[in-house]
């Protein structure tokens, strides 16, 4: 059966992502990417400047997609409790839709250009800070008085959410909606169940 031929930049990026995930960035050649995309080496270069450009583009596309999803959550006017649910669901959805891109981001960080690596670090900081602010709006005084630090809680929860791509199989028995509910139960156990229900 013939492979689908990459006919645009997006298709080439997806093909490169699959090869990077399978072989690793350093072990991948432009010829490997061309073969996976079903195009010639010169055609790869008509879309992409270099192998690093493709890697950087994968990461930029992932960050842009995730930001757009979170921005949509912020702009809905939901209550903080409902927004927490929406943000967790967004992380689950993003991990499923962008599974290959997440894998590349976290395994190939050291290969990113300095500018994209800097952008990733800023994105990670902003995502955690925004989540901390959301937690602070959900937590009541008793939780804060009990010593729960929203910054530590946000770092732990965001780390858990960004690692979903590593172990969750969307083809397995647990549906994405069920995964979101399970995560809410875990988060609720930390934040007090009544506050995230």
pLDDT tens digits, 52-83: 999 999 999 999 999 999 999 888 888 888 89
172 or 188: which leads in pLDDT: 172
What pLDDT does residue 5 have? Answer: 59
List b or e across 172-197, with b for residues whose CB sees 16 or more CB atoms inside 10 angstroms: eeeebeebbeebbeebeeebbeebbe
97-129 pLDDT tens trace:
999 999 999 999 999 999 999 999 999 999 999
Cα distance between residue 133 and residue 23, in whole Å:
39
Give the separation between CA 81 and CA 99, rounded to whole angstroms: 27
Confidence of residue 146 (pLDDT cuts 50, 70, 90): low
Percent of the chain with pLDDT over 70: 89
User: Which CATH superfamily does the domain covering 9-47 fall into?
Assistant: Homeodomain-like (1.10.10.60)
d(CA 86, CA 30): 39
**In this predicted structure, which of 122-126, 163-167, 177-181, 186-190 has the lowest mean pLDDT?**
186-190
* Rounded Cα–Cα distance for residues 135 and 103 (Å): 27
Arithmetic mean of pLDDT, 93-100: 93
- Calpha distance 89→82 (Å, rounded): 11
What class, spelled out in words, does domain 55-195 have in CATH? mainly alpha
The domain limits of the chain are 9-47, 55-195
- Supply the pLDDT for residue 6: 55
User: Could you tell me which of 84, 34, 25 has the C-alpha nearest to residue 52?
Assistant: 25
The model's pTM: 0.85
Q: What is the 3-state secondary structure (H, E, C) of the chain?
A: CCCCCCCCHHHHHHHHHHHHHHHCCCCCCHHHHHHHHCCCHHHHHHHCCCHHHHHHHHHHHHHHHHHHHHHHHHCCCCCHHHHHHHHHHHHHHHHHHCHHHHHHHHHCHHHCCHHHHHHHHHHHHHHHHHHHHHHHHHCCHHHHHCCCCHHHHHHHHHHHHHCHHHHCCCCCCCCHHHHHHHHHHHHHHHHCHHHCC
In the predicted structure, residue 194 carries a pLDDT above the cut 50: no
Can you give the pLDDT at residue 149? 84
Give the integer Cα–Cα distance in Å for 48 and 10. Answer: 11
Cα distance between residue 76 and residue 82, in whole Å = 10
Top-confidence residue, 29 or 144: 29
**Mean pLDDT, the chain, as a whole number?**
88
């Amino acid at each position: 059966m013939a492979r689908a031929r990459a006919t645009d930049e997006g298709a080439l990026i997806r093909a490169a992502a699959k090869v990077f995930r399978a072989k690793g960035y350093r072990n991948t050649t432009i010829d490997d990417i061309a073969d996976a995309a079903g195009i010639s080496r010169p055609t790869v270069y008509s879309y992409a400047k270099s192998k690093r450009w493709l890697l950087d583009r994968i990461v930029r596309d992932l960050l842009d997609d995730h930001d757009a999803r979170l921005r949509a959550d912020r702009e809905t006017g939901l209550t903080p409790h409902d927004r927490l649910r929406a943000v967790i669901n967004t992380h689950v959805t993003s991990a499923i839709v962008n599974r290959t891109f997440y894998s590349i981001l976290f395994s190939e960080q050291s290969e990113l250009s300095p500018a994209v690596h800097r952008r990733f670090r800023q994105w990670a900081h902003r995502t955690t800070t925004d989540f901390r602010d959301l937690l602070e709006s959900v937590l009541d005084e008793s939780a804060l008085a009990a010593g729960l630090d929203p910054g530590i809680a946000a770092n732990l929860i965001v780390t858990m959410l960004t690692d979903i791509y590593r172990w969750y199989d969307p083809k397995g028995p647990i549906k994405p909606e069920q995964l979101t509910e399970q995560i809410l139960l875990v988060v609720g156990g930390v934040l007090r169940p009544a506050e995230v229900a």
